């Protein structure tokens, strides 16, 4: 990694520092249910505070598009309510629903609970600005003393954040002398706070925090200089989501394991019958090409040999289901595959056991359902048991699964960014990384 880090800046004392964090944490009824992203940001924040910087933190939370969108779409239930009214009352009723949605978003997606938790973790040295670039933010940033920090309100309460608006970037830049990006989870986004503030030349010194430094060091280095055998595991629902990832990883790894919903398109491409399983028929040709590419490169491409099937997808997702296990190439016409079978679990685990570098992105099945989680559990267990290997979980659902299943402390590195990890696996340059200063 050749990007400057916070340790490459020699003097922080008295400097105003804008730190882009990823505080997009799961919430329920205003309570944070998983604070891993907050804890992950602490080393950088504490380092800057201890060095005497005036720290301004910023982050997004969720997708509050209703707040600034004039084209808010009603859900089916609300649409039915509106259409049941007399024509002359429908416009007002629709507007009332939209206004309520905006208020709900402001309430649900505020960063106030994050500020409260940060204040507890950082000894009462955090204040919360109730806006992003407005008068409250300006006043609190101006009042911020050395060794203290301010958390700005949700960046996405402004449409200008995602549109890279120049004037919005100027206002953010006015809060800092130095910019620090420590939000790997949004590093693949080219937004105002993740890249444009630097790209527009508004901040001259731009470096990464400890979290991004670790992500790049572990993941990028493992991809470019893996200790072999190198096994890559891809799961998840759609082939289309991982087209370039599959192609890029085939060129780097020794074995590519494919599970999850995307496996059924590969199985069908090989002539298998997959019942009502999820299939992307438009990508059958691509799957055939990847199978041939693996052969041409002398790489091993492993697909499920047996599959756990049900008659229908569980609704709700954790509802009880009746399952059976069948050959992956011969799934009955009225069944759908929702997890890998016992033989496949053993096959994949054995391959992982012999690896020295393993990366994994995407669950093996509908892991949210306890009956259909066995394949994902088996892969997580295999990574946890892989002695002497560098094991990397590329964020998203597979990271959530490892955490929920209690394997997090047995994995070398669990990424904080699902989308960013995928683009790194794909070989792309991430905007939030590219904009940072190079080391001399």
Catalytic residue IDs: 37, 238, 396, 419
Which H/E stretch holds residue 179? strand 178-181
CA distance 393 to 395: 6
* Burial label, 88 (beta-carbon count in 10 A; 0-12, 13-18, 19+): exposed
CA 141 – CA 44 distance, rounded (Å): 19
* Neighbouring C-alpha atoms within 13 Å toward the C-beta of 75: 4
Give CA–CA dist 435/82, Å, rounded: 47
Q: What distance in Å separates the CA atoms of residue 51 and residue 165, rounded to the nearest whole number?
A: 32
Closest CA to 310 of 297, 322, 293, 295: 322
Residues 72 and 65: their CA atoms lie apart, in Å, by: 8
Strands, DSSP E only, in 177-245?
178-181, 205-208, 230-234
Phi, psi of 27 (to 5 degrees): -130, 150
């Amino acid at each position: 990694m050749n990007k400057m880090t916070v340790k490459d800046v020699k003097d922080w004392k008295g400097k105003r520092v804008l730190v882009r964090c990823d505080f997009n944490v799961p919430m329920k009824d205003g309570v944070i249910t998983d604070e891993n992203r907050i804890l992950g940001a602490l080393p950088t924040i504490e380092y800057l505070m201890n060095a005497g910087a005036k720290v301004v933190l910023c982050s997004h939370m969720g997708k509050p598009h209703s707040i600034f969108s004039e084209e808010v779409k009603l859900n089916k239930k609300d649409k039915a309510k509106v259409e049941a009214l007399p024509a002359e009352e429908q416009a007002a009723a629709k507007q009332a629903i939209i206004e309520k949605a905006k208020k709900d978003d402001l309430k649900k997606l505020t960063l106030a609970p994050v500020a409260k938790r940060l204040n507890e973790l950082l000894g009462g040295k955090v204040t919360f600005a109730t806006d992003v670039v407005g008068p409250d933010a300006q006043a609190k940033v101006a009042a911020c003393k050395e060794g203290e920090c301010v958390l700005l309100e949700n960046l996405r309460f402004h449409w200008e954040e995602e549109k890279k608006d120049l004037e919005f970037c100027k206002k953010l830049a006015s809060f800092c002398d130095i910019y620090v990006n420590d939000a790997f989870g949004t590093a693949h986004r080219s937004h105002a706070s993740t890249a444009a503030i630097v790209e527009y030349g508004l901040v001259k010194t731009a470096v990464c925090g400890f979290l991004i430094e670790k992500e790049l060091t572990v993941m990028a280095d493992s991809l470019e200089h893996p200790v072999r055998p190198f096994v890559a595991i891809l799961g998840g629902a759609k082939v289309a989501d991982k087209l370039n990832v599959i192609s890029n990883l085939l060129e780097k790894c020794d074995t590519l394991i494919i599970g999850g919903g995307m496996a059924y398109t590969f199985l069908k491409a090989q002539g298998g019958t997959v019942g009502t399983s999820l299939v992307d028929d438009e990508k059958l040709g691509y799957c055939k090409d990847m199978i041939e590419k693996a052969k041409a490169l002398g790489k091993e491409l492993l697909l499920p040999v047996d599959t756990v099937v049900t008659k229908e997808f569980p609704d709700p997702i954790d509802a009880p289901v009746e399952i059976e296990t069948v050959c992956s190439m011969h799934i009955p016409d009225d069944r759908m595959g929702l997890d890998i079978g016992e033989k496949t679990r053993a096959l994949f685990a054995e391959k992982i056991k012999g690896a020295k570098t393993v990366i994994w992105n995407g669950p093996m099945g509908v892991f949210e359902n306890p009956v259909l989680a066995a394949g994902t559990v088996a892969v997580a267990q295999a990574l946890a048991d892989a002695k002497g290997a560098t094991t990397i979980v590329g964020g998203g659902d597979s990271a959530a699964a490892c955490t929920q299943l209690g394997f997090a402390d047995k994995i070398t590195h669990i990424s904080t960014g699902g989308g960013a990890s995928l683009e790194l696996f794909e070989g792309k340059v991430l905007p939030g990384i590219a904009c940072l200063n190079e080391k001399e």
